[in-house]
Structure 1
């Protein structure tokens, strides 16, 4: 199967040259990058579509009409009216990472022209086919954010922590609240189950300004340590995420090799044993007894080898994830404030525990509240003292 496109019309952001190669569309590619940046900043497809419309950016259908005269996706009078599903299609398209995806759609039969989207296992994907518009790490991060779909609140805003803040006790997403009086305005987050009364849970109330301050402080500590001690930080991440000790990994590899060698020996022994049984050199009773012992040993070794392989694979994955996190760290060596884009590139989720009174009073002013920050790719990061 060749890595040639099966379509004559590439996705929005690319053009096709005479040799059927995808080349960057200088007019559309910046719009694609803008859409991904807006998503990373915490905006949903509907809001992104509205922003593009307000900027009077021609839609993909309008651009196609102006260049080719095709009217299939052109809507006169709505040349710059973007639809949310168009934004969704762009955000979910893997071809912006440089891979070619053929056979994305099919038809029910030659009698019915209705288009059906193929599952990924029926698609043909060719990596490194053309120049990228969106790097793979950004694309994957956007897919993660898309799973945590956020809607604007009653103030037509998407809260800084919306979609990534969770209750430690019931696991519910935390909701943004705003209390406003003549003297002051206070933003906070509370447990979704408590707000909706769908589960027996407490408020887990936390002020947005204090949360922002705490997360910013922790993020600065992590990025500063990583920038100053990169090698030490990488080692720390792999050891915290999975057992990354070289000595222990070497021992596991040696143990795995020994198990695989013994499995192969048992297969050879079992083969010879079967031949002896057929030739009558051993009795059926003796064959059954020995083969049962060897089979039991081999089964145990296979389970052990699978467990060792899984542990070693996790260690390799932990190293790769640590490098992904370091790419983000290098991108933001210093920052002035916690922006939605910065937060969502660094943080996967934040877990809020219920506050505890330190003075023994139920409504005491002196309180302590635990916040767990799970960073993208690597989870919780515990720096040495």
Structure 2
């Protein structure tokens, strides 16, 4: 074990903020200086190497420098290990004890913890056999306590809507003013929008990845590397990380692109294990409107709905059929399937009932040709767009009428009045504390009056919220917003595409080869707008010309039929 009366020592230094280390006292330099001072007083110990694990927790022994040191021990190049104290060696009670009591004696290694006055060659009393395990237990408990406090602190910040990730989500950068907030990265955000657009147009995740790779768009990993971030991707396989179907799917399912902060999706089993486990969705931490949205909530929901549809792809081009997943049989309510019939060198495409195809006795043999279906769907959608376009103009006209402006002004006056009332009670509540502090009122009176003021303030805030919602309804025409634009922006359509179908249609029911029923999206919003117009007309004295237009719109079917 010894040669020429000398021990061949490795000094071991460890520092980790995860353990709650005080940087001033446990810095690498401080530990090194302390150990070198000890070596000067012990000339029989010669330092042959120094091993430093900077940034590694003591709750496990899977540390690079520690492992290198143990390899030197096994090669008999080191037979003495010196640390500042037991906590620098490790904070796991059982593993630390195993090394000190079993591993090191077996390998004839002298172990010294300076500040704990422990030296395995000199400390052999029964008292040491009790004190050392006790100190290890304290270090272990301290590490557990720090871990719980750190996790609790992170959860508090997450619930406030602060971003706690080390690296920003692709599409965002951390704000220079506040690193806990996210701001849009214009270039990456455009890529995100393209991904959602292509998905709506019928591209599969794999096809979207191919398009991005073909256009030379850097994958999130490579883009972050180019931006100078020391980012490591757990999904990276190849030397140069390219876009993959998995990356696209993760982006399409990430609600954070709608401005919602979603964190706490996974966590460690306990403070000793680094492995992360996924948490149930009801345990995620969600905070609305913490950052600017790249994708609207409507678009995100639409893409989620598309994922539930049948996504069989067109042969050769990796694009989904326009009617895939939205076409249903009126008799059995099951889906219709695409079938190609070849006759005399020509190809004909039909849709037939999937139930009938599987068993001819369970449904009827009705079908519709792809050509007839597209023609009919186009006509019905154009008709619906026309109706909603008329509704849009009618809503604009009503909002400009005197009665509408008068009603808004009344609501606005009530909002101003309520805000003044709220300010008055807030001032009273603030002054109340000053009166209590100056001894003008007793503590019991202060608590009672404070509670009354808080109740009143809460009531006023609720009333304000109702008035603001009402004012918003008067301004927007009860839901006149993005859903109307989704229809009117397609007023010049000449053909049926996958994007048109999934954006405007929930499902298409085939009754027979000459009749279909289209169930459009946004029916609740459509009904709300109709009700708003109807109520507005009741308060309009002169509505000549408006009633007839409204009857045309109201007479239009909610679900197109041809």
| Corresponding residue number in structure 2 for 1:47 | 207
In structure 1, C-alpha distance between the alignment counterparts of 2:226 and 2:392, rounded to whole Å: 50
Match status 1:13 vs 2:158: no
| Corresponding residue number in structure 1 for 2:264 | 103
TM-score, normalization by structure 2? 0.47
| Corresponding residue number in structure 2 for 1:187 | 349
Unaligned stretches of 5+ in structure 2? 1-158, 397-472, 525-556
| Corresponding residue number in structure 1 for 2:520 | 375
In structure 1, C-alpha distance between the alignment counterparts of 2:560 and 2:310, rounded to whole Å: 31
The 5 A counterparts of 1:191-270 are: 191-197=353-359, 200-230=362-392
Q: 1:137 to 1:55 in 2, by over 3 A?
A: same
Match status 1:162 vs 2:324: yes
CA contact (8 A) 1:203 1:354 kept: no
Q: 1:196 to 1:54 in 2, by over 3 A?
A: farther
| Corresponding residue number in structure 1 for 2:335 | 173
The 3-state SS of whatever aligns with 1:217 is: helix
Q: 1:87 to 1:77 in 2, by over 3 A?
A: same
How many residues align? The count is 287
| Corresponding residue number in structure 2 for 1:329 | 487
Q: What do you get for the CA RMSD once the two structures are aligned?
A: 2.9
In structure 1, C-alpha distance between the alignment counterparts of 2:370 and 2:237, rounded to whole Å: 43
Which of residues 32, 45, 68 in structure 1 aligns to 2:192?
32
TM-score, normalization by structure 1? 0.67
CA contact (8 A) 1:15 1:25 kept: yes
CA contact (8 A) 2:385 2:487 kept: yes
The 5 A counterparts of 1:335-374 are: 335-355=493-513, 369-374=514-519
Q: 1:339 to 1:63 in 2, by over 3 A?
A: same
In structure 1, C-alpha distance between the alignment counterparts of 2:262 and 2:312, rounded to whole Å: 31
Deviation per CA, 1:66-107: give whole Å up to 9, x if none.
232434354544433x22121111111111111111212212
Q: 1:99 to 1:233 in 2, by over 3 A?
A: same
CA contact (8 A) 2:330 2:510 kept: yes
| Corresponding residue number in structure 1 for 2:435 | none
Q: 1:190 to 1:55 in 2, by over 3 A?
A: farther
Of the two, which has the highest radius of gyration?
A: 2
| Corresponding residue number in structure 1 for 2:223 | 63
Query: Which fold has the larger relative contact order, with Cα–Cα distance below 8 Å and residues 6 or more apart in sequence?
Result: 1
CA contact (8 A) 1:322 1:377 kept: no
The 3-state SS of whatever aligns with 2:262 is: strand
The 3-state SS of whatever aligns with 1:27 is: helix
Q: Which moved more, 1:65-74 or 1:96-105?
A: 65-74
CA contact (8 A) 1:324 1:377 kept: no
Q: Which moved more, 1:55-64 or 1:158-167?
A: 55-64
Unaligned stretches of 5+ in structure 1? 235-315, 356-368
